[in-house]
């Protein structure tokens, strides 16, 4: 990652002279939370977490997402939790963007750094601590695991984005790639967190319109996203949520790679209200 494209820390409230940020948008089909809207006064804390604060970027409140929650979490040096998850049946994916963290799952330790990915099945004992000298930042995706009779829950996965091959989308001349942390053919998984990248000038060239919902956090660069016919300019540090069937496409802008962390629910039958 280039130094000039490292994640920008959200946090400070801007001065009173600031013109209001016009990029925050909430519609029925999508939400945009620009990095300027993530200030310390709108962060949250969690039970049993020390020296930690977070922004809840997606949650199943009325009119918002239905399958997951997404937190952007900052942990001070020495902070963390022995009891991170207090709800039953919740699986997690962690993706680290700043600093170093020690993850312990069922007594096995894993050292996480910028670019580390961890999948933690529901029901396992785990803890997470910032073992570095500076603040650490990670993304935390939580989803109730959709059990299916005859399918086991997935195994623990701890890896790093440098270990994952970037799969080229056919027809994109290498300009549109996706890093998949779990095998798409492994149907035990009911959610995928991937990293989608577009080289400068490259595009997602059709209006994807699909049942899966998305959370997108821009990791690097900038681009213009088409969300249900609206063109929205986004850059590193911005968040988007797209409801099921929200039409979506994008152009990459600027002179560096435009890339984002993507949540997608997958691999399950449609369920019907009882």
Instruction: Give the residue with the Cβ less far from ligand UGY, 58 or 262.
Output: 262
Instruction: Find where tokens 């000298």 sit.
Output: 133
Residue 237 has φ and ψ, to the nearest 5°, of: 100, -10
91 binds ligand UGY (CB under 6 A): no
Contacts of 103 (CB under 8 A, 6+ apart): 94, 109, 110, 112, 118, 126, 127, 128, 158
Residue 196: contacted member of Mn ion, ligand UGY, none (CB under 5 to 8 Å, by partner type): ligand UGY
Contact with Mn ion (CB under 5 A) among 50, 51, 153, 208: 208
DSSP assignment letter at 123 = T
Q: For tokens 């990652």, name the residue.
A: 1
Contact between 195 and ligand UGY per CB under 6 A: no
CB of 210 to Mn ion, least distance (A): 6
Query: Exposed, middle or buried, 162 (CB in 10 Å: 0-12/13-18/19+)?
Result: exposed
Smallest separation (angstroms) from ligand UGY to the CB of 212: 6
- Please provide residue 195's backbone torsions phi and psi, each rounded to the nearest 5 degrees: -115, 120
Q: Which is nearer to ligand UGY, 51 or 199 (CB)?
A: 199
Tokens 């919902």 correspond to 213
Instruction: Collect contacts of 148-153 with beta carbons under 8 A, ≥24 apart.
Output: 148/268, 151/187, 151/188, 152/188, 153/91, 153/121, 153/122, 153/123, 153/188
CB of 102 to ligand UGY, least distance (A): 32
| Residue selected from 100, 197, 248, 252 as contacting ligand UGY according to rule CB under 6 A | 248
* Residue 199 interaction partner, one of ligand UGY, Mn ion, none, beta carbon < 5-8 Å per kind: none
Among 196, 202, 227, 246, which residue interacts with ligand UGY (rule: CB under 6 A)? 196
Mention every residue, 6+ apart, whose C-beta is less than 8 A from residue 6. Answer: 98
Among positions 50, 153, 199, 208, the unique one binding ligand UGY when judged by CB under 6 A: 208
**262 binds ligand UGY per the rule CB under 6 A:** yes
Least distance in angstroms from the C-beta of 60 to ligand UGY? 20
Q: Which residues of this protein are in contact with Mn ion, per CB under 5 A? A: 208
Q: Which residues of this protein are in contact with ligand UGY, per CB under 6 A? A: 196, 204, 208, 214, 248, 262, 264
């Amino acid at each position: 990652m280039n130094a000039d494209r490292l994640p920008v820390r959200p946090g400070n409230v801007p001065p009173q002279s600031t013109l209001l940020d016009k990029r925050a948008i909430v519609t029925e089909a999508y939400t945009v939370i620009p990095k300027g809207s993530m200030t310390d006064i709108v962060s949250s804390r969690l039970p049993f977490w020390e020296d930690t604060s977070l922004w809840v970027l997606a949650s199943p409140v009325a009119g918002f997402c239905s399958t997951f929650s997404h937190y952007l979490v900052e942990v001070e040096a020495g902070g963390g939790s022995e009891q991170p998850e207090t709800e039953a049946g919740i699986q997690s994916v962690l993706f680290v963007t700043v600093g170093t963290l020690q993850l312990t799952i069922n007594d096995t330790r894993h050292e996480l750094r910028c670019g580390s990915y961890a999948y933690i099945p529901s029901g396992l004992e785990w803890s997470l601590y910032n073992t570095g000298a500076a603040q650490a930042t990670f993304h935390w995706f939580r989803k109730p695991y959709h059990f299916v009779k005859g399918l086991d829950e997935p195994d623990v996965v701890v890896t790093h984005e440098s270990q994952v091959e970037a799969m080229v989308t056919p027809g994109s001349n290498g300009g549109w790639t996706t890093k998949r942390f779990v095998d798409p053919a492994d149907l035990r998984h009911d959610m995928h967190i991937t990293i989608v990248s577009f080289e400068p000038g490259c595009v997602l060239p059709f209006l994807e319109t699909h049942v899966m919902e998305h959370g997108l956090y821009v990791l690097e660069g900038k681009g213009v996203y088409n969300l249900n016919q609206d063109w929205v300019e986004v850059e590193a540090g911005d968040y988007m949520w797209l409801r099921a069937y929200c039409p979506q496409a994008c152009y990459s802008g600027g002179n560096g790679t435009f890339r984002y962390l993507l949540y997608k629910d997958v691999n399950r039958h449609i369920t019907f209200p009882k």
